[in-house]
Structure 1
Amino acid sequence: MSHPEDEDPAALFRAAIGEVTPLRKVVTPPPATPRPKPRARMAEQDEQEARGEFARLLRDSSPLEAGDTASYRRENLPPRMFQRLKRGQYSVQDELDLHGATVAQAEALVRQFLVEAHAHEYGCVRIIHGKGLQSDGGAPVLKNLVDRLLRLRNDVLAFHSAPAGQGGTGAVLVLLANR
């Protein structure tokens, strides 16, 4: 009497399944045209939506021109503090330069910059948006984006175009609320 452990497992398997016919190997030819390079469709869609949102903001309010002063003050901020900001008398603790950024990139950069400014408990920061002299269609895109974004944020007490020696109408000084 033979024990099951003495038998070859492969022989047992072949005996169990019986006669087999091997499958014919099918060779598929490579595609005639190469696949297109992948596109960042979601990034393109986000950029398109940001442009649409920005265009809506510009339609709803008159856009700032290249030489216009960007200015905003919350009602609860004392006028004296706002005057000091306008004169550039607060020490700038950090700076963000948006030159060369797209609308979507600039929006993300500004939001991240302000989050980090709060994490470091900065009181005054500068955002350089440029004057927009190179903008298509006339209105400086990044300048208007920064103006609209800052107005919507609860953590911004005030902002004003920088004095001439600190960037003039191509930059904005931002006074941030403490936590």
Structure 2
Amino acid sequence: MSLDDFDLFLMSMEDVKPLKHDTVKLKSTKQGPSLAQQEKRKAAECDLSVDENYLQSEYVELLDPHAVLSFKNEGVQAQVFKNLRLAKYQLDATLDLHGQPLQRARTTLLTFIDDCHKRNIRVVLVRHGIGIKNKFKPGILKSYTNKWLQEIPSVLAFHSALKHHGGNGATYVLLKKSDEKKHENREIHSKRS
């Protein structure tokens, strides 16, 4: 004789006793928020005030959400820049900044670029979005990303991505060779001569 699932369930529940009541009394929360809740609230309010001050201290002209980002340092060859624009280089790392507050986005971007440069990663994709969900000020993160990338010394060039990589909501970034890699290349070329 074989037992089905229901019979097995009934057998396993034989010694279970029902509860005498099915209501739960909760403690009154009129005491106010706990210390941990107060600290979380303070931290959240602090984050908001920092972001507002940050926006006021660093003015950036807002770009159209669908604007193409394009920047090239002097010395970057036209063909190299064209290859970057056309995604002919392998993308070695990707960063997604969507939904981050500006100050955190800036720190994340700077850390990411610095780490990639140290590890000799040459081409990266930064996803910043176009910000069209923000009806009052679209393109904020995109506009700031455009400014920040131009200020980072290890960035040689950048350009808005092709559609399959995120279109105008993402940017290809070309980084300089690390000092270690430059030294390695000099040694290789000096041995050839």
Which interval holds the TM-score relative to the shorter structure?
A: 0.7 to 0.9
Letter of the 2:126 partner, please give it: I
- Contact 1:161/1:172 (8 A) holds in 2: yes
Are the counterparts in 2 of residues 131 and 143 from structure 1 also a CA contact under 8 Å? Answer: yes
Greater Rg by CA: 1
The CA distance in 1 between the partners of 2:137 and 2:160, in whole Å, is: 19
Q: 1:167 to 1:34 in 2, by over 3 A?
A: closer
Query: Is the Cα contact below 8 Å between 1:143 and 1:170 reproduced in 2?
Result: yes
Read off the aligned partner of 1:43 and give its amino acid letter. D
TM-score for both structures, normalised by structure 1: 0.73
Q: Any gaps of 5 or more consecutive residues in structure 2?
A: 1-30, 179-193
**1:6-35 per-position Cα deviation (integer Å, ceiling 9, x unaligned):** xxxxxxxxxxxxxxxxxxxxxxxxxxx758
Please give the alpha-carbon distance, in whole angstroms, between the structure 2 residues aligned to 1:113 and 1:93.
Answer: 12
Give me the whole-angstrom Cα distance separating, in 1, the residues matched to 2:63 and 2:32: 48
Residues 86 and 122 of structure 1: CA distance in aligned 2, closer, same or farther (over 3 Å): same
Quote the offset at 1:42 in angstroms. 4.9
Q: In the alignment, what sits opposite 1:170?
A: 169
Does residue 160 (structure 1) correspond to residue 164 (structure 2)? The answer is no
Contact 2:158/2:172 (8 A) holds in 1: yes
Q: Which residue of 2 aligns with 1:122?
A: 121
**Is the contact between residue 65 and residue 138 of structure 1 (CA under 8 Å) also seen in structure 2?**
no
What is the Cα-based RMSD across aligned positions, in Å? 2.0
> Which of 53, 56, 78 is 2:57 aligned to?
53
Partner of 1:57, secondary structure, is coil
Within 2, Cα distance between the matches of 1:44 and 1:64? 23
Q: Could you report, residue by residue, the CA deviation over 1:89-117 in whole angstroms, capped at 9, with x for unpaired residues?
A: 11110000111111111111101111111
Aligned position for 1:148: 147
Aligned length: 143
Q: Is residue 77 from structure 1 mapped to residue 76 from structure 2 by the alignment?
A: yes
SS in 2 for 1:72: strand
**TM-score for both structures, normalised by structure 2:** 0.68
User: How has the CA–CA distance of structure 1 residues 82 and 43 changed in structure 2, closer, same or farther, with 3 Å as cutoff?
Assistant: same
